[in-house]
Structure formats: structure tokens, C-alpha cells
Structure 1
């Protein structure tokens, strides 16, 4: 089990020193699915506890698992608990379940029970700028059976974790390495599903990148190894010739909630945004002739992460002057202000579950 403080959370961690994913709140939500018992059973909020699994539990052998990640924020008023576009996370969870042959919980019940758990653990929501309560819904196959078929039993659970910045660099620019040695996903595969296998495929390349001094890997299309897809934990954006370009969703990359938010919000702020195929050769050429103005990633964990350098075929390229660009800064400031209720929300994205 992770670190589980037994007393009031305020004395157990320093909000100024919060990392990501190491501290967990005292309760979790659990709900069981059994085909023979008629489907989903009554959800329960229990003390955080280890899962007890038979060695033949199917998730351990065949990887039937889906998860999500979203954040709860402390709002301007003491009673505020703000969620950012939770409907999109729940819808994506359902779509991922469909791809993995998993019966998804009812979306309304999902939202209701998740909100109930977060409200119970509201004292764990940190209040410092750049912090939040990370919400991790997960579903796993729990049938005890050795044989390749969908499970007939599942466990849906939600755990919560107070977090700070995802990357050690915080909002400082990161370095990324482009790989044409490995592939992560292809059309018809699991690339657009948020499932364990999707991330397991990325680990070796990520470790090699870390050993070379890079924070993350930029993945290329499995067919031509030229078209850009996404970073290991983020969708990717390029500003070239005053236009923001991001790879189109074609079944191989995760349809990020923050990605969609960046596209809509950047356009609201007056920036032209285009979704299309973009090749690594185009980006290298733009870096060499000065047309490349910024690169930044987007994701729930990091929100916006500027990129200072990228390496492709053993050549390093600096992005602009190696510093955070003005668009990345503007989007980070505006989105985080919206998420925490410090600016207006013209889209109706923020849901207050605390009152």
C-alpha cells in the first residue's frame, strides 16, 4: 500500500513539496460487476486498502484494464470543489472500456459516486497554486480463469492523491527525444484507449530517453515513422509561422481532454489552430530555418509543458531560445486560472461539486 497518513492530512505533507502520485487519501470507492449476479452491484466507499487477487486473476494475464485521470481543485470559496470537464473523462473511460470488452459503469452513477468520494476527502485537497487532488478511476478484470476471453467479473475503484507538478521541472521547459526505434501504437490498436498496455509499450523508450537526459519520448507513426503522434504522457502542439499545429486524431493517439481544451481555448484567445498530419521532417526543417516558434505538450497531469529541445537521429534542436514561449505561458496561466475558478469560464467546463 502507498503512504496513508492516519491523522488529519494537513500535518502529513507540505503543499510546497508535493510530488506526484505518492500520497493517498484515507478512503476509496469500490464497485463490483458480476455477470452471474446481474451486473453492477451497489457501490461502497471503504477505507483505502490493498486489493487481494487470486494468482489467476485475468487482469494479471490478459491485461483487461482501463483507467482515467482528472483533478479536483480548491476554488475561491471555502466550500468550492471544482472539476474540469469530468464528463469528457467519463465518456473517454466508457469508450476505452468498449475497446477492451469491459462493461462500463453508468456514466451518471460514475459522476455521482466520484463526487461523493471527493467530498468525503475534501480536507485532502491542497490549496497552493499548482496543486490539486488527482482522481484515478480504474477498472480491472477479476475473473479467476486461464484462457483468452473477456472476464465475467470486474472491479471498478477510485483512489485519490494530493499532487503537485507532474514533472520535476514544474513549468520549466523539458527536453524530449524522438524515437524511430520503437513503436507505441498503430491504427486499429490500443493507441486511443487509456489502458495499461498502451503505457507498458512506452516504458523502454522512456527509460532510454531518461538515461540520455531527456524528460519524455515523442512517438512517430508506426507505418512511416515520420508522422508525429504524441509524447508519452501528453499530446503535442507546434507553433510555426504564427499557426498552432497538432496531430489529428486518427485512432492512434489518446484524445486528450486538455488537448481539446487547448484547441478551443487557443482559438478563443485568437490563435489559429490546425489539426493535421505533421511530420518530424517538417519540424526539423522549421527548427533549422527559424519558422518553429514553440513546442508544448498538454495533459491532465502537467496541463501545459513547454519544450526547450528535441533530439532526432542524434541531432539536438533548440526550440526558439530554449525558454518558455508566450503561447504556452498564456495557455497555462489561463487554463489553470479557469480550473481553479480565478477567471471566468466561457465554455461551462468547470463543475462545482462542493456546494
Structure 2
């Protein structure tokens, strides 16, 4: 992984991915006690940053390989990103998704033209095993959600935009908080910042009970989560950091941060009230850390990436009504 791959992915994404804005709010600045810059990737195609990695990976395949089709496993955001990228390239896609994924994500993935195969995450069934078997039987190319070079490169384009947009607002140093599952986005952003904004530092943010990246960074060895379900932050629930992402995270990132589900729901409500954007729980943890854990952040300004907005209506209603 290197900056050249990220820049090449950025070139392939031109005209296909949205250049999401950088948002600010004096009300959020007051809560955080510093300037808060928000990168709303919930406004990206398919409602999350995952489209960047999906397009990057699919567009990097040769035509013959693409025509055979691709397969991915995901709780929903990577699923939709790959599904749309495949559809736009005229390639068939199979997506392996947990049965307990949000209905919106399952329905959207099917609507984008992908074949959805459900597996029992709560019962301990392995998505890797299910996906690997289908890939072998049908000769499909597997596009992993985070431990995939071209996926990391695509996610890293977010970091290029953050560096440029923050500089336009007079911010060239500080922490960049990213909602983190397996580390594809966080490591991609970290690589981009290393090259173009070395005074800015990427930091992963996770929900309580699923803080494998924070624990891994603290211990220096990959740690895993004891369970893979029962969190509102489904978008960032992964078994452990990736074999490709963890060395990058270890070398470039600051300490991980951990927030509660209530923190995430409150951040969702504030994002809606003050920024007029819809964010899902897993996509709100970075904003939650910026707003409610300011004692763990350095600098006069902080960047928070709102990574996704694919939330079921009942969960969103809970956030709004509880923290209105």
C-alpha cells in the first residue's frame, strides 16, 4: 500500500464518486470546545464511503475478470458499494450478508442488482467460509471489505479530500477521527495524510464492546472481539483488524477511541439537528468521540468522518426522540 495507489484510485473515481463537502456548526464547536470539521460520507453514493472502495476494486479488474463477476461479504455498506460499482461496470455481483443486517441495507443491495445470500452471523456462521465457497464454485473475484489493497486505496481518497478541504478552512494539523471496523478507511486515510498532510493524524473510533482495533493498537498485537452481534453499530462490527490494515494502523495512527451506543445515538440526533444530515449509529461514532470525549483529543481543531447514513427508520426515530 502506498500513496501512488490512492492517487490512481482517485483518478479512476473522478466523475463517479461524489466529492463530499466539509461541514461545520458553531453549535457543535461549543459542545466540543474546539473547531469540529465534519466529512459527511453519508452523502456518498449508496449512503457511505464504501462506494469509493467498491469502485476502486471493481474498476481495477481486467475486463475478462469483471465479466465473470464479483463477490463480497458485508453487513450492508460494502455490500451496496460493490453492488453499485459492479452494476455500473456491467458485472454480476453476489453479496453475502448477515440475516440480522438492517432491512434497509439488504433491500438496497438487492435493488442495486446484486444476488444476496444471507448467513447466520448470530449463530456463529462464517461469512468468509460462505463467501469463499461461492467464489470457488462460480469462479468469482472476492472483494474483501477492508483487507483488500484496492479497497484501501479507494477509501484513502477520503483522506486526500480531507487534507485539501481542511487546509482551505485553515486547518493543517490535528486528529482525524474515523469510524473503524476492520480498518480499511482508517488506514487509507492515514496513508493519504502521511503523504499530503503529515501534521494531521488518523485515529480509529469504535463502539463499546467491539473495540478490537483500540485494544490491538494498545497491545501491539491483533486482538479479536468475543462476539459479532448485538450492537446498533452494525456497520463497523468486525472480528478483528485486518492483516493488511493493522500494520498501517500501528505505524501511522494515534490511540483508538471508544464510545457508547448512547453517545452514537446522541451524535446522530445532533447531526440531524445541526447539520441536517442522516447518520447511522456506526457512522456516527467518530462525531460522538469528537463531541463527547474531547479530553482525549489534541489540538484546536478535529475532523470527524460521518461514514454512513443507512439506518432503519425505527433506529433513527429512537435517536431523535431520545436526544431531541
TM-score bracket relative to the smaller structure:
under 0.3
Greater fraction helix:
2
Greater percentage in strand = 1
Q: Find the structure with the greater CA-based Rg.
A: 1
TM-score (norm 1): 0.25
